[in-house]
Chains A and B, each alone.
Chain A
Amino acid sequence: MEIHEREVWDGNMAASQAMRQARCDVVAAYPITPSTPIVQNYSQYVADGDVYGGDFIPVESEHAAMSACVGASAAGGRVATATSSQGFALMVEVLYQASGMRLPIILNVVNRALASPLNIHGDHSDMYLGIQAGWINVCAFNPQEAYDLNLCAFKIGEAESVRLPVMVHQDGFLTSHTVEVVNPLTDDAAYSFVGDYTNMRPMLDFTKPVTYGAQTEEEWHFEHKANQNAALMHSFGVIQKTFDEYEKLTGRKYKFVETYKSEDAEEIVVAIGSVTGTLKLTVDKLRNEGKKVGLVAIRVLRPCPREEIAMAIKNAKAISVMDRSAPMGTTGLLYNDIAGILLDNGVNIPVLNYIYGLGGRDTTIAHLTKVFTDAEECKKAGKRVKPLIQMVNLRGKELSFF
């Protein structure tokens, strides 16, 4: 199919095109809003003969989708799929199987709220639900990044020293259904970057019979999980190398931690996702007013790039951390990461936690301005003078904790 140098794509189209260009052997999928167009587009490419081979397998549930992906990957194929929210929740059991069996499956997670009450719009509840499943987690904030990071994800996950599944996150609707200009590679250039799939210990090698999905009890299980965790922790080098190669090819530079005017910033907001676009505008507005503010956005969520985060926030005098998921009973996941990194680096500054955007709730420059000014007040006081956990754009009297 014809791909132009500049396309107008939403995040879903961008992800599905990258999957097509990577020449997947198997895409097994079950549709769910807002990720449906990724697999719908892909099935269309297959039906129209716009792929280079490979199968699309429609299945009966997301549990079955990831199970089919596990089977296809263990058999020795390049495999990808997509899901959101409830479908992601149904996949969770198999997500652990995929990472434990070290299968480099690519999963596009189009982030959406979890029921109940049912909600089809974006937040990071599904991202946080799967965070301990042992996958590499990279986060795209716009359609271009969804495209780029999909291509990178295949290369990272399939590297011989890594062999781990990779999730590429993008915000439901705000990224997945927002059309923007995307600069894709040609099919040949994209495939040549991703490279041929390297088989390692495939089940269908009949000369070397192998059992996938073995049982291990107390004398083995710990060693296997430690081995898996070590591979995840040691994947930084491959991720960096992949980002470097991609920059050489496209001029687009990806980092573990993206920063915006944070070098001399005294108040820093840390966030993930499409909100970082609005945060950049907020930073610009406040900089014009003479405030020394900046943004730190997490690109690679797992493995957690603790050293890069520490470097990015080391000059801050106060930090606000934004979590787009209800932490239910404690502080948010990103807050916990940041607080731990600061403590480990001997930095004792006020850190605030903001819960925002649940179920697609809008977050504007006005809301984000308060997130910065709260941090500024804490900086001036030299201690935390605002509640630890606050809600952004919640209707009703103020609800905060600690």
Chain B
Amino acid sequence: MATPNHLLKDWDGFTPGSLLFSFDDAQKREYAFSNSHEYSVADWRVNKPIFNAEHCIHCQFCWIYCPDTSIISVDKKFSHIDLAHCKGCGICVEVCPTNPKSLLMFAEHTNEADALASWPAKEKKQEEEK
């Protein structure tokens, strides 16, 4: 994960204390130079989450729980996963309440179409099984 050359600074060129700022202007979402939005940490991941829009109820649980702000919501609806920053922790899948889940973990090399084709069916409630 090399820092892009244009972001490297000399020893006397940055804020003391190894501090990293997110924004120059938080209201306008102007990123600070030390913001990691230009970095990719995709190579930290072994498994990736894949989203299935068919089942999603837009409850926003995944958005709230994601520790890396990698679930991107627009107008309070699931939009997409930021795979440059997702570390593959699986918390979004864990908290997803739908049946079947709207997010599932797949091996990194799995393509989306294959994943969606193999999506599990709705699990029956125990009463229905009887």
Interface residues of A (CB under 8 A from B): 100-103, 163, 201, 206-214, 216, 219-220, 222-224, 226-228, 230-231
Whether B19 lies near A210 (C-beta < 8 A) is yes
Q: How far is the CA of A100 from the CA of B18 in the complex (A)?
A: 7
Q: How far is the CA of A210 from the CA of B11 in the complex (A)?
A: 19
Interface residues of B (CB under 8 A from A): 2-3, 8-12, 14-23, 26, 34
Whether A208 lies near B23 (C-beta < 8 A) is yes
* Given A219-B8, A223-B9, A227-B12, CB of A209 within 8 Å of CB of B22: yes
Which one, A101, A102, A163, A208, contacts B26 given CB within 8 A?
A208
Whether A227 lies near B19 (C-beta < 8 A) is no
Whether B19 lies near A230 (C-beta < 8 A) is no
A-side interface mostly: loop
Max chain A C-beta neighbours (<10 A), residue from B12, B14, B17: B17
For residue B2, which residues in chain A have a CB less than 8 angstroms away from its CB? 219
- In the assembled complex, the CB of B17 is this many whole angstroms from the nearest CB of chain A, namely 4
Besides A201-B15, A210-B19, 16 new A-B residue pairs in contact (Cβ under 8 A), listed by A number: A101-B18, A201-B19, A209-B26, A211-B19, A211-B34, A214-B18, A219-B3, A220-B3, A220-B18, A223-B9, A223-B10, A224-B14, A227-B11, A227-B12, A227-B14, A230-B11
Which one, A163, A216, A219, contacts B18 given CB within 8 A?
A216
Residue of A nearest to B17 (CB): A102
- In the assembled complex, the CB of B10 is this many whole angstroms from the nearest CB of chain A, namely 7
For residue A211, which residues in chain B have a CB less than 8 angstroms away from its CB? 19-22, 34
Whether A227 lies near B26 (C-beta < 8 A) is no
Residue of B nearest to A227 (CB): B11
- In the assembled complex, the CB of B40 is this many whole angstroms from the nearest CB of chain A, namely 15
- In the assembled complex, the CB of A41 is this many whole angstroms from the nearest CB of chain B, namely 31
Q: How far is the CA of A241 from the CA of B82 in the complex (A)?
A: 52
Which one, B16, B20, B21, contacts A231 given CB within 8 A?
B16
| CB pairs A–B below 8 angstroms (21 shown) | A100-B17, A101-B17, A101-B19, A163-B16, A163-B17, A206-B26, A207-B26, A209-B21, A209-B26, A211-B21, A211-B22, A211-B34, A212-B17, A212-B19, A213-B18, A214-B18, A220-B3, A223-B9, A223-B10, A227-B12, A228-B16
